[in-house]
């Protein structure tokens, strides 16, 4: 039997494996073997590529000794040596201890001989230690009060039996430890005490004559400060309890646990610290940040929980100023102590935890960058030199851009089976050794469950005694649990679906279990969307190149198909939002979405959560009440952008307003759906009159009396988001509370009370500002900032902005009459910011020039920034909300040492890059261009006399090609924008369709970058549209590790053409200057005898309609007294190309406009390339 348990080839097989692959040591001390015998049991764990799962094997058994830590550690090391187990392959260590000083000393000695070993056992007791530290830091004696009351009921026979059961039947309660060191127990006791608080006071008041101890208990229970502290603790312990329950689940997958661990830490950091301090703490783990008052949120914004806030408000007069100050100080001390304990016990830093969870998730392989993988490998000791770092970069990029793992294959494989296939199929090192990427993944896959109980570990070891008996133990549902992982790198960026859904992604509803663990479902999209007629460029040739790919796309989102619930239960937690109520719900990354509160499918509804059915698709979500708003907040939540772009959102608005109308008794005249919907929206914006918010309430129904037990410990842990300013408790003696404002109230505050306009969001009036408004004096909140980024450069077919220049919203707008201006202003902005009646007045002015065209002065509250053109660029540089290390700086090359430049141009178009390099006088040694449009290739070949080497599809360029063609000095390119531009409502985003071609640029950029120690200058430039989704832009920034520079060609040419440029060319952010040869007005581009009607024209695209200008869609040229279109030669001059540049192969006007519409502006590229003259040889 022993032979079977240890394995048929023991110990040679274990020794051989540990010599070749990373492994984990499990140490269970003082294990009861029966017959009063005890021993220390050592196991070894590793990931087996052969069988596709993690394996645990018995390793050795040693005697228990009462000797010193050093002796125990020496015995452990001798055991490894006895079996020739190499210490350098020890990746992780697990011990059920971790809570004592001896355990810490043992680990510190282990770190001395293996510095990069990951200690997962420290998480076993993290929750209880954090709870104990947090409670101990507070002035209120919580432990003492709980223990005194419990002891009283246990020792007294004549007690209230109902109250006695609150404390006696709490399991498992260890009387040898304080309640605060038992987080789940403490949380349950606190909830029970709060529910019975009046009864407890009444009981102990009746017994005050029984002794001093009773009197002390009674005084504490009567104290408002003590009670509000217990209310705070009920709220403050919830994330710890939620993580503890998941930790105790032995079937939980490691990626989910690591994500939840990071989420718990972020939740506490966000409750205590300012957003900037939170980011610094998570990055640096510097505990000193917790002790600095300037990093902590003010008392008014400290998160103490809704029940505590309500109690403070209701008992404001009873609580003295001193008690209130102590309470808020205690709350801050609790959070600080909890965060400190968690940071000290983290096995790795926060970003590494999240990156591990993302890297292990195959569905998220495009969500993590090579730099993050290298940083993770360095922390784990996998990369020890620059050669290994470079090798890992190459191997990870090969895996990241491989196409082998289709959605179909992922759906039927467990996570471990998937990685077994990946690691077996490729990435083998030389000489039979592991490659760097293999070693990294095997290290991660051998990490142990953070709370693996001894009996379960022994059971697995027995099963694995003979490796031939091993079978797969992971179910399909466990695999799907890993697909909800997201990625942030010290910022708040969570995983978005590959194909942007038409409605928010939502947590899965599990109708069969009370677990709140989210489980992702792969939704097969069978809907076909027609290609948008909006201006995104003619990219049909790229679409055709994808025909060989699967037509059905998969979107990973936390949603589940609608199911008919057999039974549902009402909510009795007093948080509002009852069954049947119309609400707005907020899911991260999406606009506020209308929904209907549904009954909870189980009896145990988590506190502060609601089940919401979303209009538009009929799916459900479980969502916090804090992320819900009443439907009456229509004007605040309604999104013009989503309403214009997303058909599902428009349907959702119609459905919700239809129900609202039925409840309010509002009738609308019979007409077409669009007209009726317009009437509905107008009615909603006017406040749902005459019934108002009351008229929206659901009809009263008789609900069954169901007792619902609150279980806040089942609340899923949320990712950290910077806390917004909320209206919390304020003392009446301290003046008015900080509150939110409408724009009408904002105007009154500025004009009548002298407040600064910069302290308000110019678009909505809130004081929760995020950044300056780039065009006018004032600021923008986070929501309006994101909206502004996406819509400022969005234009309708008439050439004017789609939305108001001030607020990037607005139902009714007036257009600027300046022929060269394309801006518009909504009625609300004019009425509120300029003055009542302004809209009607300017309608009578013809032509009316807008507030950016008029002389710079104040019009009411509206005043343009004197440097607004510079501020716009600064604004867009900051919109990714990320900070990056500066690019490597290359010193200028002496003139006599400069050599000709070698260029690789991806998505080359009509060779704008080559044309500019030759215009600037560069000696071009080699210019290799990847392009698949035949017309564009023809232009480059003919106009540059065959000096450009054209290659095929960018996806066919390999590392071998680069080695043959290179080394290159400059990489340029701009991937197709049709699946990125928000103008296209059917866009698929960065990770699908043509958007995915960005990763081909990223792949080749990583191949081309010089290795460490190579001083050869290397430059790169990537371009794409400004009007893309904020999340897509952030992802591009994250991969390219820099923020873009926004450049609009209108400053150096007659046409608008705003584009984002990422790169490392020196001076990219310097001001755009006009050169002597630049034609900046349309007249300068026209042929003889033709007259320009405008100085500047709108952005010229591939669509013929883009030539038309202004409200009346006039053609921009007059010839012989008649309007005329722009000629092809004139279009070429507008873009900066020589005359007849595109006149090849008898190409027609439409084809010539298409190749020009996809090209770059020559003066802009000349501006960007000019600094390269300090590095490369010129004529």
One-letter-per-residue 3-state SS of 1065-1088: CCCCCCCCCCCCCCCCCHHHHCCC
Measured CA to CA, the distance from residue 582 to residue 630 in angstroms comes to 7
- At 549, is the pLDDT very low, low, confident or very high (cuts 50, 70, 90)? very low
Over residues 557-574, the pLDDT tens digits come to: 333 333 333 355 677 777
477 pLDDT band, cuts 50/70/90, is very low
According to the model, what pLDDT value does residue 204 have? 81
Tell me the CA distances in angstroms from 613 to 195, 275, 506, 620, 955, one per residue in order. Answer: 31, 32, 10, 4, 43
User: Taking a C-beta distance cutoff of 8 angstroms, is the pair 780, 805 a contact?
Assistant: no
| H helix and E strand count, the chain | 42, 26
Residue 133: pLDDT band with limits 50, 70, 90: very high
**Coil, helix or strand for 970?**
strand
723-737 pLDDT per residue, tens: 333 333 333 333 333
Q: Is the pLDDT reported for residue 381 higher than 70?
A: yes
Q: Is the pLDDT score of 491 beyond 60?
A: no
235-248 confidence digits (pLDDT tens): 999 999 989 888 88
Q: How many CB atoms lie within 10 A of CB 276?
A: 10
pLDDT at 268: 92
Nearest to 474 by CA among 254, 262, 261, 717: 254
- Return mean pLDDT, the chain: 79
Strand pairing class (1045-1048; 620-624): unpaired
How many CB atoms sit inside 10 A of residue 407's CB? Answer: 16
Is 761 known to be catalytic? no
What single-letter DSSP state applies at residue 332? H
| pLDDT tens digits along 434-472 | 889 999 999 999 998 888 888 888 888 887 765 443 334
Alpha-carbon Rg for the chain in angstroms: 33
Is residue 153 scored above 90 in pLDDT?
no
Outline where 756-848 has alpha helix (H): 782-791, 827-829, 838-843
Q: How confident is the model at residue 937 (pLDDT cuts 50, 70, 90)?
A: very high
Mean pLDDT, to the nearest integer, of 287-291?
Answer: 88
Residues of the chain by 3-state class (helix, strand, coil), percent to 5: 45, 15, 45
d(CA 605, CA 560): 19
Phi and psi at residue 739, in whole multiples of 5°?
A: -140, 170
Q: In this structure, what are the phi and psi dihedrals at residue 47, rounded to the nearest 5 degrees?
A: -100, 125
Q: Which residue has the higher pLDDT, 418 or 524?
A: 418
Band (877; pLDDT cuts 50, 70, 90): low
Residue 540: the pLDDT is 46
1024, containing H or E segment:
strand 1019-1025
Mean predicted confidence (pLDDT) in 928-948: 93
Q: CA of 767: how far to CAs of 280, 628, 745, 805, 862, in Å?
A: 24, 20, 11, 20, 17
- Whole-number pLDDT of residue 65: 65
Identify the active-site residue in 977, 1037, 1042, 1085: 977
Q: Among residues of the chain, what percentage have pLDDT more than 90?
A: 22
Instruction: List the one residue out of 607, 862, 649 whose CA is nearest residue 750.
Output: 862
pLDDT value for 503: 38
Q: Which of 151-155, 252-256, 268-272, 612-616 has the lowest mean pLDDT?
A: 151-155
Angle at 742 between CA 739 and CA 743, to 5 degrees: 130
**Residue 947 and residue 926: Cα distance in Å, rounded?**
8
Q: pLDDT tens-digit profile of 82-124? A: 888 888 889 999 887 655 666 778 888 888 888 888 888 888 8
pLDDT at 181 over 90: no
What is the DSSP code (8-state) at residue 366? Answer: G
Model pLDDT, residue 363: 82
- Tokens 């290397």 -> residue: 1018
Tokens of 415: 């996570």
Quote the CA–CA distance of 239 and 374 in Å, as a whole number.
31
Closest CA to 771 of 862, 872, 641: 872
Per-residue pLDDT reduced to its tens digit, 398-428: 888 776 543 434 556 788 888 888 887 766 6
Please tell me the distance from the alpha carbon of residue 694 to that of residue 690, in angstroms, as a whole number: 10
pLDDT (tens digit, 9 = 90+) per residue, 981-994? 887 777 888 888 89
Above 90 in pLDDT, residue 713?
A: no
- Where is 1062: in which H helix or E strand? strand 1058-1063
- Min mean pLDDT across 142-151, 218-227, 964-973 is at 142-151
Sheet holding 1091-1092, edge to edge: 1091-1092, 1117-1119, 1122-1124
* Four-point Cα dihedral 679, 683, 685, 689, nearest 10: 180
Among 95-109, 289-303, 833-847, 1062-1076, which is the least confidently predicted range? 95-109
> Which residue shows structure tokens 């290298």?
374
Please compute the mean of the pLDDT values over residues 490-507 and round it to a whole number: 35
pLDDT, position 469: 39
pLDDT given for residue 99 in this prediction: 54
Distance between CA atoms of residues 678 and 282, nearest Å = 47
Task: Supply 852's token pair.
Answer: 């950016």
Which residues have a Cβ under 8 Å from the Cβ of 28 and sit 6 or more positions away?
40, 41, 42, 43, 95, 96, 454, 457
Would you give the DSSP letter of residue 182?
S
Cα torsion 803, 804, 810, 811 to 10°: value is -60
What pTM was estimated for this model as a whole?
0.64
Give dist(CA 852, CA 863) in Å, integer. 9
State mean pLDDT over 22-40.
83
Which pLDDT does position 148 carry in this prediction? 83
In whole angstroms, give the CA distance from residue 770 to residue 657: 32
Between 492-501, 845-854, 883-892, the lowest mean confidence (pLDDT) is in: 492-501
Structure tokens, 665? 């008794």
Report residue 472 as tokens: 């797969």
pLDDT of residue 976: 92
pLDDT at 1053 over 90: yes
Mean pLDDT within 876-903: 79
Range ranked top by mean pLDDT from 191-205, 394-408, 701-715: 191-205
Counting residues of the chain whose pLDDT is more than 70, the rounded percentage is 80
* Long-range contact pairs involving 1105-1113 (C-beta distance under 8 Å, separation at least 24): 1105/797, 1106/535, 1106/799, 1106/1157, 1108/798, 1108/799, 1109/799, 1109/819, 1110/798, 1110/799, 1110/819, 1111/798, 1111/800, 1111/815, 1113/797, 1113/798, 1113/799
Q: Is omega for the bond preceding 11 within 30 degrees of 0, making it cis?
A: yes
pLDDT band at 882 (very low <50, low <70, confident <90, very high): low
Average pLDDT over residues 824-843: 89
Q: What was the pLDDT predicted at 123?
A: 83
Alpha-carbon span 784 to 772, nearest angstrom: 11
Give mean pLDDT, residues 67-72: 73
Phi/psi for 1166 (5° steps) reads -60, -40
> Would you call 534 exposed, middle or buried from its count of C-beta atoms within 10 A (0-12, 13-18, 19+)?
buried
Contacts 24+ apart (CB under 8 A), 1010-1018: 1010/967, 1011/386, 1011/390, 1012/386, 1012/389, 1012/390, 1013/386, 1015/890, 1016/967, 1016/969, 1017/890, 1017/893, 1017/969, 1017/1175, 1018/890, 1018/968, 1018/969, 1018/970, 1018/971
**Closest listed residue to residue 985, CA positions, set 650, 648, 504, 646:** 646
């Amino acid at each position: 039997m022993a032979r079977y348990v240890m394995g048929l080839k023991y110990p040679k097989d274990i020794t051989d494996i540990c010599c070749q692959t990373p492994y984990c040591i499990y140490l269970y001390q003082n294990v009861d073997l029966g017959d009063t015998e005890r021993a220390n049991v050592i196991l070894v764990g590793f990931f087996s590529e052969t069988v596709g799962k993690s394996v645990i094997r018995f390793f050795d058994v040693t005697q228990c000794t009462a000797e010193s830590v050093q002796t125990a550690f020496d015995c452990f090391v001798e055991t490894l040596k006895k079996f020739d187990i190499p210490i350098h392959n020890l990746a992780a260590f697990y011990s059920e201890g971790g809570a004592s000083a001896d355990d810490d000393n043992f680990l510190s000695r282990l770190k001395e001989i293996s510095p990069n070993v990951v200690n997962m056992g420290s998480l076993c007791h993290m929750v209880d230690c954090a709870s104990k530290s947090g409670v101990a830091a507070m002035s209120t004696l919580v432990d003492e009060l709980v223990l005194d009351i419990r002891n009283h009921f246990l020792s007294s026979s004549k007690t209230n039996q109902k109250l006695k059961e609150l404390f006696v039947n709490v399991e498992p309660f260890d009387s040898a430890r304080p309640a605060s060191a038992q987080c789940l127990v403490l949380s349950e006791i606190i909830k029970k005490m709060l529910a019975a608080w009046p009864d407890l006071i009444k009981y102990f008041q009746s017994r005050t004559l029984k002794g001093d101890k009773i009197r002390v208990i009674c005084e504490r229970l009567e104290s408002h400060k003590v009670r509000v502290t217990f209310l705070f603790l009920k709220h403050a312990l919830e994330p710890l309890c939620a993580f503890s329950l998941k930790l105790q689940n032995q079937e939980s997958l490691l990626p989910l646990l690591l994500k939840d661990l990071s989420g718990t830490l972020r939740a506490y950091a966000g409750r205590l610290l300012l957003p900037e301090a939170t980011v610094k703490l998570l990055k640096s783990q510097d505990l000193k940040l917790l002790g600095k008052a300037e990093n902590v949120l003010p008392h008014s914004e400290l998160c103490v929980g809704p029940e505590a806030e309500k109690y403070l408000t209701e008992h404001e007069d009873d609580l003295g100023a001193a008690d209130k100050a102590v309470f808020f100080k205690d709350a801050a001390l609790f959070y600080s102590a909890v965060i400190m304990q968690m940071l000290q016990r983290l096995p790795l830093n926060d970003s590494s935890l999240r990156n591990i969870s993302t890297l292990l998730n195959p569905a998220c392989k495009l969500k993590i960058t090579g730099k993050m993988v290298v940083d993770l490998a360095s922390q784990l000791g996998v990369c020890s030199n620059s050669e290994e770092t470079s090798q890992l970069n190459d191997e990870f990029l090969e895996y990241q851009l491989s196409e082998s793992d289709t959605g179909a294959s992922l759906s039927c494989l467990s996570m471990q089976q998937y990685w077994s296939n990946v690691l077996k199929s490729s990435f083998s090192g030389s000489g039979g050794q592991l490659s760097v990427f293999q070693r990294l993944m095997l290290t991660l896959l051998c990490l142990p469950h953070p709370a693996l109980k001894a009996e379960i570990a022994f059971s697995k070891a027995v099963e694995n005694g003979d490796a031939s008996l091993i079978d797969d133990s992971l179910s399909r549902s466990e695999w799907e649990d890993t697909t909800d992982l997201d990625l942030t790198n010290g910022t708040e960026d969570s995983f978005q679906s590959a194909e942007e859904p038409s409605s928010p992604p939502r947590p899965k509803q599990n109708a069969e279990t009370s677990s709140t663990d989210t489980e992702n479902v792969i939704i097969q999209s069978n809907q076909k969307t027609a290609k948008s007629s909006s201006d995104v460029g003619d990219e049909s040739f790229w679409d055709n190149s994808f025909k060989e790919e699967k037509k059905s796309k998969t979107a990973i989102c936390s949603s589940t198909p609608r199911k008919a619930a057999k039974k549902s239960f009402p909510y009795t937690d007093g948080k509002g939002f009852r069954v049947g109520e119309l609400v707005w719900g907020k899911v991260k990354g999406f606009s506020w979405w209308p929904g209907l509160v549904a009954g909870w499918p189980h009896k145990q509804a988590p506190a502060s959560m609601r089940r919401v059915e979303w209009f538009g698709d009929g799916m459900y979500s479980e969502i916090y009440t804090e992320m819900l708003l009443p439907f009456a907040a229509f004007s605040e939540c309604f999104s013009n952008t989503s309403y214009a772009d997303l058909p599902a959102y428009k349907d959702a608005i119609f459905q919700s307003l239809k129900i609202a109308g039925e409840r309010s008794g509002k009738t609308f005249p019979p007409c077409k759906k669009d007209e009726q919907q317009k009437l509905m929206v107008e009615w909603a914006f006017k406040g749902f009159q005459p019934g108002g918010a009351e008229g929206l309430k659901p009809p009263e129904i008789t609900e069954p009396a169901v007792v619902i037990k609150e279980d806040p410990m089942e609340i899923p842990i949320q990712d950290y988001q910077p806390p917004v300013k909320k209206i919390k408790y304020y003392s009446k003696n301290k003046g008015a509370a900080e509150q939110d404002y409408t724009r009408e109230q904002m105007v009154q505050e500025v004009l009548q009370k002298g407040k600064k306009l910069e302290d308000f969001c110019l678009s909505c009036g809130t004081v929760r500002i995020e950044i300056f408004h780039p065009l006018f004096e004032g600021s923008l909140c986070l929501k309006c900032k994101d909206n502004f980024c996406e819509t400022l450069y969005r234009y309708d077919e008439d050439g004017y902005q789609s939305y108001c220049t001030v607020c990037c919203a607005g139902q009714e707008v007036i257009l600027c009459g300046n022929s060269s201006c394309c801006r518009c202003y909504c009625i609300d902005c004019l009425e509120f910011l300029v003055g009542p009646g302004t809209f009607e007045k300017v309608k009578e002015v013809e032509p009316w020039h807008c507030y950016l065209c008029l002389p710079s002065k104040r019009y009411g509250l509206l005043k343009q920034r004197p440097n607004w053109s510079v501020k716009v660029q600064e604004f867009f540089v900051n919109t990714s909300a990320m900070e990056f290390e500066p690019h490597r700086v290359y010193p200028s090359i002496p003139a006599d040492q400069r050599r000709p430049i070698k260029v690789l141009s991806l998505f080359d178009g009509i060779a704008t890059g080559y044309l500019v390099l030759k215009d600037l006088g560069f000696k071009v040694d080699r210019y290799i261009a990847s392009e698949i449009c035949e017309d564009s290739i023809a232009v480059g070949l003919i106009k540059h006399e065959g000096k450009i080497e054209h290659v095929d599809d960018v996806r066919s360029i390999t590392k071998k090609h680069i080695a043959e063609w290179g080394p290159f000095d400059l990489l340029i390119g701009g991937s197709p924008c049709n699946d990125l531009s928000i103008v296209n409502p059917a866009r698929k985003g960065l990770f699908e369709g043509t958007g995915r071609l960005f990763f081909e640029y990223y792949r080749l950029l990583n191949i081309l970058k010089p290795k460490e120690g190579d001083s050869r200058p290397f430059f790169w430039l990537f371009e794409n549209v400004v009007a893309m989704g904020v999340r897509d832009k952030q992802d591009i920034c994250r991969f390219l590790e820099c923020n873009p520079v926004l450049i609009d060609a209108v400053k150096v040419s007659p046409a608008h053409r705003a584009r984002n440029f990422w790169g490392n060319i020196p001076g990219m952010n310097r001001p755009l200057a006009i050169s002597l040869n630049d034609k900046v007005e349309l007249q300068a581009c026209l042929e003889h005898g033709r007259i320009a009607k405008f100085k500047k024209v709108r952005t010229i695209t591939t669509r013929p309609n883009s030539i038309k200008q202004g409200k009346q869609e006039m053609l921009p040229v007059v010839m012989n007294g008649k309007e005329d279109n722009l000629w092809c030669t004139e279009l070429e001059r507008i873009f900066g190309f020589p005359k007849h540049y595109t006149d090849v192969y008898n190409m027609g006007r439409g084809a010539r406009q298409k190749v020009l519409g996809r090209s770059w502006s020559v003066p802009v590229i000349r501006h960007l390339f000019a600094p390269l003259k300090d590095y490369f040889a010129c004529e």
